[in-house]
């Protein structure tokens, strides 16, 4: 059977009549079951404070799969996914001061926010009280145009939400830092991972492997907690000093009360109660993976009697994302990736659902020119 990529028609998507636009090409999903295929659509012409970026590489995040399949119930089709974007500046508006043509740049999960609410003033645009404008599946705050993501040739983004990619970083391995990297960096920084701290990462995937690398580079003692035996060699090469099998009660009991911070990256519903006794007094378990109702119910006595906390964290603000990129540049930290052509994206989604990737797919957007 032909793949969706070879059978989906390329049809222009109309823009608001009063907005100047240009046509570009990407890969889009037209329904939860259609797969992704070639798609021509409209982006706005750059405004005075905009940066026009030619996309070189785009990481493939598990949330792309959720959005395309409408797992969260908010999908707008046609949808061009992708929020781990790196490339080079093609054009800048007359008011742009931080970037010039040819600069290596990145775009993450957000392309705008209100900028004046309390979280925005703190640099927490991801918690904007009116809702951040996401890189795809949203609408622009000014002109109302649909936002389309990085599985495409070009993107236009306001200067304040464009990031500088350090020269020390290779672009393909830097792309997943724009989501996976900052998702792990933010809680590690907030809960002060560093020398003298014991940190555990739950799950070894796109997020987990970045957590091991970052926590180790910050100077913490790092442990991987996984349900899957056989990951010790990978985990140690990524920075873990030990590996715990979560289904082994004796192993879990042996580290009770030892961790200052546990970051849980598991992307599906699971029991978090077994991790709480592993926290030291005053320790925190931070959820960055699964977003949904807890089942089985949370045993709050494990929190109360140990002065322990359960928290959540969502990506990071723009300033902190730049801080993370600079940190990765200083320490030579990239994501471990498998580079793919855009034509393989549907197969990549299938492999992600089978956890068959070590540890992040990245699309080489030059392959789009082969269509």
Percent pLDDT > 70 in the chain is 95
CA distance 110 to 144: 16
Beta bridge mates, 14: none
Look-up: residue for tokens 């974007």?
Answer: 85
Q: In sequence order, which residues have a C-beta less than 8 Å from that of residue 175 and are 6 or more positions away?
A: 57, 58, 59, 84, 85, 86, 106, 335, 337, 362
pLDDT at position 16 is: 53
Domain boundaries, the chain: 4-179+336-370, 180-312
Phi and psi torsions of 273, nearest 5°? -55, -40
Does position 21 have pLDDT exceeding 50, yes or no? yes
pLDDT in tens, 35-56: 999 999 999 999 999 999 999 9
pLDDT at position 17 is: 54
pLDDT at position 11 is: 37
**pLDDT-derived band at 15, boundaries 50, 70, 90:** very low
CA distance 154 to 130: 27
Query: Are 252 and 246 a contacting pair, CB within 8 Å?
Result: yes
CA distance 299 to 304: 9
The residue-averaged pLDDT of 181-200 equals 98
pLDDT at position 299 is: 95
Phi and psi torsions of 345, nearest 5°? -65, -35
Q: How far is CA 101 from CA 52, 89, 366, in A?
A: 9, 5, 19
Pick the CATH number of 4-179+336-370 from 3.40.50.2300, 3.90.180.10, 3.90.1150.10, 3.30.2290.10: 3.90.180.10
Q: How far is CA 156 from CA 42, 48, 221, 319, 338, in A?
A: 11, 11, 41, 20, 26
CA distance 80 to 366: 17
What's the whole-number average pLDDT of the chain? 94
CA distance 275 to 182: 23
pLDDT at position 369 is: 84
Q: What is the DSSP letter of 46?
A: P
Query: Are 170 and 233 a contacting pair, CB within 8 Å?
Result: no
pLDDT in tens, 137-157: 999 999 999 999 999 999 999
Look up residue 334 and give its two tokens. Answer: 């990239």
CA distance 263 to 245: 16
Does position 7 have pLDDT exceeding 90, yes or no? no
**In the Cβ-directed half-sphere of 250, how many Cα atoms lie within 13 Å?**
0
Q: In sequence order, which residues have a C-beta less than 8 Å from that of residue 69 and are 6 or more positions away?
A: 32, 33, 75
Instruction: Decide: helix, strand or coil at residue 132.
Output: coil
pLDDT in tens, 281-296: 999 999 999 888 888 8
* 180-312 classified as CATH 3.20.20.70: no
pLDDT in tens, 221-263: 999 999 989 899 999 999 999 999 999 999 999 999 999 999 9
pTM here? 0.94
Percent pLDDT > 90 in the chain is 90
- State the alpha helices, DSSP H only, in the chain: 4-7, 62-68, 118-121, 171-174, 180-190, 206-217, 232-238, 249-254, 301-304, 318-331, 345-353
């Amino acid at each position: 059977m032909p793949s969706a990529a070879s059978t989906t028609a390329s049809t222009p998507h109309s823009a608001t009549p009063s907005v100047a636009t240009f046509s570009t090409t990407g890969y889009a999903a037209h329904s939860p079951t259609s797969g992704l295929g070639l798609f021509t659509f409209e982006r706005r012409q750059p405004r005075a404070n905009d940066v026009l970026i030619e996309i070189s590489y785009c990481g493939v995040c598990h949330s792309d799969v959720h959005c395309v399949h409408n797992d969260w119930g908010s999908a707008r089709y046609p949808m061009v996914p992708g929020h781990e974007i790196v490339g080079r500046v093609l054009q800048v508006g007359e008011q742009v001061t931080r970037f010039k043509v040819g600069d290596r740049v990145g775009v993450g999960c957000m392309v705008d926010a209100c900028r004046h609410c309390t979280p925005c003033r703190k640099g927490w645009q991801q918690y904007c009280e009116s809702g951040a404008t996401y890189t795809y599946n949203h609408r622009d705050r000014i002109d109302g145009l649909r936002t389309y993501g990085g599985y495409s040739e070009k993107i236009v983004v306001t200067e304040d939400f464009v990031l500088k990619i350090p020269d020390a970083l290779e672009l393909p391995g830097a792309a997943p830092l724009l989501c996976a990297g900052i998702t792990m960096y933010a809680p590690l920084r907030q809960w002060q991972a560093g020398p003298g701290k014991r940190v555990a990462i739950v799950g070894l995937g796109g997020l987990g492997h970045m957590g091991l690398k970052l926590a180790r580079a910050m100077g913490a003692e790092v442990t991987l907690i996984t349900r899957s035996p056989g990951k010790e060699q990978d985990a140690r090469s990524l920075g873990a000093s030990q590996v715990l099998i979560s289904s082994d009660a004796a192993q879990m009991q042996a580290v009770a009360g030892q961790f200052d911070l546990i970051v849980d990256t598991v992307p599906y519903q699971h029991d978090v109660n077994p991790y709480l006794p592993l926290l030291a007094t005053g320790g925190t378990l931070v959820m960055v993976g699964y977003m949904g109702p807890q089942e089985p119910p949370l045993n709050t006595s494990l929190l109360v009697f140990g002065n322990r906390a359960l928290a959540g964290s969502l990506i990071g603000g723009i300033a902190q994302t730049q801080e993370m990129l600079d940190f990765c540049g200083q320490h030579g930290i990239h994501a471990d990736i498998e580079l793919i052509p855009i034509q393989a994206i549907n197969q990549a989604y299938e492999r992600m659902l089978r956890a068959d990737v070590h540890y992040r797919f990245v699309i080489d957007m030059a392959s789009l020119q082969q269509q």
